[in-house]
Chain A
Amino acid sequence: MNKVIDMKKDKTIKHIILASTMVMILLWINTFIHQNSFSEGLETFTYIGHSVLIAAATIFYYWTLSPLFEEDIFENSTRLYTTVTVLCGVVILFLLFLELGTDAISVYGQREIILWAFAIPKRYAFDIWAIVVFPSIISAFFKVMQKEKYTLSAVTAGTSSILFITLCGYMIFMAMPNIWLVNLMILNTISVGLAIHKYYDKRIKKLNAIAAVILYAFVHMGVLPFVCTNAFIYEGDWDYLTSGISVIIKNASFFGISNYLLQSEYVHSFLADNNKPILQILYYGGWISVVAFIILLLIFMYLILKLLGIENRYEHRNWVVFSTAALHFSIRIIMGLLYSFGFPFPIALPFLGINYITDTIAFTLLLIGAWENHKISQFLKIESSFLDAADVFAIQDEYCITNESGTAYTEESYEEDVDIIGKEGTIIHCSTEWYMLKERIFCVFSEKTLETNCQRFILEYVQTKWKALENTESDLEKNVIREYLVEHKPSCMVSDGGRDDEDN
């Protein structure tokens, strides 16, 4: 069984720390800009404090709510989904009648969801819908369609449900500025594309899958003109904005504040209370600072894409949610940068606008996803980490294992730390796990080390003696390993162990 352990280092933890540091820097820049260019009189730790609290709340809610989705309670059939969709349709109609009939309830017509005394700004609900709710529902639909082997009835039921959910999104957010609806279109199309990619199998032709995504985007484009409130994507005075941008860009110095910008009242009134981070940085630090800032954003984008763990996309249960969040950030970075220089796509850079709250939620979800990816990667390496006992000890008839107090180790509890004397007299610290198969007792010893790739081996416990398995007992050994894998499978992995058809 001498397998070469995959020693390729998992850099997820490093990427998590680096990405978190980047977010801190972005929040720091936001704090600096708001302290020096905004009238609100921001406290030093306001943004970072809020973000830490929101991140903690996100982790708490994910931790409490995610077990609900691990039980596959939503994976019944497309028939059930269609029924639920119809029921949702009834609720939506009911809410519409309530909105038309009373002022106490408003879900569609205003920029806040009003339920009697409660008013939830839709700007905070948008990211939750586009990044969490919609991708989760779409994933569930595609999973069921795949389970039902993409039969015509399954695809018809699934597609109509997806289109209905899409329409729900538009109805809820149609009161928002046009750019939000365009963003919704992009994010929904991305979610559907990712879900098709994840649940794609050989029963579907590749071209049909691509055509489905394009068709879905066209459906969005068909709906957009009916829900957009006015002709242009920007609600303010576009000419004023572009002239301000061009004045600052033309007159900025390479390093520090230029004299022109320092003396121009027009520039000061333009930048006051104006959330344009690139222009603010141009004013305070010049082009050198802007270049450094753009490099920082590009590194951040690279890190969040790395955090996704694309290699685990088929194993990771909520991968579509996390990948939508990552692509949401990427779009915000690219389009936000272009917008800063006058491109008509008014979207804020991540963590540099009022939406830093929802950005923090999305980023925390990404971190949770990365951590789950790390666990999946570790799990996938377990099988190759099993060694022959002979690789750890010299070949013996029986082996001596002592517990921490130095006495001989016998079956005492399910898990315990033990010391083993290895081949060259080195002491190896191991944890133990006991398994019983065919009325024989086995113990899996896992090396306790700070390295992520620890080594494991199996010994049999026979009448107070430790013995290695014979070469002829490889089936038994495989069964023990299988039991061990079942025991250690992370809950964030899909229940069927990944994709049905690995060749596609």
Chain B
Amino acid sequence: MMKIIKKAKNLLIKNKLWMVVIIIITIVAGGFIWKWSLNMLSTNFENHSINVMVNEETTTDGASDLTYWGF
């Protein structure tokens, strides 16, 4: 067991594999933060983003049943 731990330690520290581990963790965590923050903010602006406002205005005018982007 000690041998395995020592080998793992060698791999991580001596061969600088810890850098690879940190990079992988950063990419995964970054991806989660990226998606979560975009979703969170988009939800926050759900009712008054430009897309929604333009859609509502075009539909309310009765000019067309299609949305503004529907042509």
Contact = CB atoms under 8 A, between A and B. Distances in A.
B35 interface: yes
Interface string B13-44: 00000000000000000110011011101100
Interface in A276-294: 280, 283-284
A284 B50 CA distance: 9
A284 B38 contact: no
B42 A32 contact: yes
Interface residues of B, number: 19
Contact of B41 (A32, A265, A280, A283): A32
Contacts of A272: 50-51, 54, 68
Given A36-B51, A272-B51, A284-B45, A44 B38 contact: yes
A48 B34 CA distance: 10
A44 B35 contact: yes
Instruction: Please tell me the size bucket of the interface on A.
Output: 20 to 34
**SS class of chain B's interface: helix, strand, loop or mixed?**
helix
Nearest to A264: B53
Contacts, number: 49
A35 B68 contact: no
Contacts of A407: none
Interface string A52-80: 00000000000000000000000000000
Given A39-B69, A268-B57, A45 B34 contact: yes
Nearest to B49: A36
**SS class of chain A's interface: helix, strand, loop or mixed?**
helix
Interface in A28-58: 28, 31-32, 35-39, 44-45, 48
A257 B38 CA distance: 18
A243 interface: no
Interface of B: 30-31, 34-35, 37-39, 41-42, 45, 48-51, 53-54, 57, 68-69
29 contacts: A24-B30, A24-B34, A28-B34, A28-B37, A28-B38, A31-B38, A32-B38, A35-B38, A35-B42, A36-B49, A36-B50, A36-B51, A37-B49, A37-B51, A39-B69, A44-B34, A44-B35, A45-B31, A48-B34, A262-B48, A268-B54, A269-B54, A271-B50, A272-B50, A272-B54, A272-B68, A283-B50, A284-B45, A284-B49
